[in-house]
Amino acid sequence: MKHCRQVVTLCLVIGLVVALSLPLWAEETQQVNINTASAVELTQLKGIGTKYAERIVQYREEHGPFSSAEDMTKVPGIGPKTCEVNKDRITVE
């Protein structure tokens, strides 16, 4: 009986972990338009924290819209790796 309770508890914990992580998985596929996204929305990209997000917005305001995802490397501190890991999530409409 004790073993059965442990198995049930383990299944409940695993189910809870999976249920709580589903929104994180769904967020991974969300597209971010770097020409219109707010600083908060830009932080959804991998490797982009608050400071970099603010730099992207500032760069966009000073230089106009980005024509490609790779243009993001013109923002100080953002390199090709950041663009590469986010290539499927960045749009420039």
Question: What would the pLDDT profile of 16-41 be if each residue is shown by its tens digit?
Answer: 667 676 666 555 568 999 999 999 99
CB 53 within 8 A of CB 43: yes
82 and 39 within one domain: yes
Give the whole-angstrom CA distance, residue 76 versus residue 55. Answer: 8
Q: What is the mean pLDDT of residues 42-47?
A: 95
pLDDT tens string 7-22: 777 777 776 667 676 6
Q: Are residues 12 and 38 in the same domain?
A: no
Same domain, 70 and 89: yes
Residues 74 and 93 in one domain: yes
Residue given tokens 């770097």 in the structure block: 34
Residues 41 and 59 in one domain: yes
Is the four-CA dihedral 50, 52, 57, 62 of positive or negative sign? positive
> With a threshold of 0.85, does the pTM exceed it?
no
Among residues 63, 91, 68, 69, which one has the least CA distance to residue 82?
Answer: 69
Say whether both 12 and 49 belong to one domain: no
- Statement to judge: residues 46 and 62 lie in one domain: yes
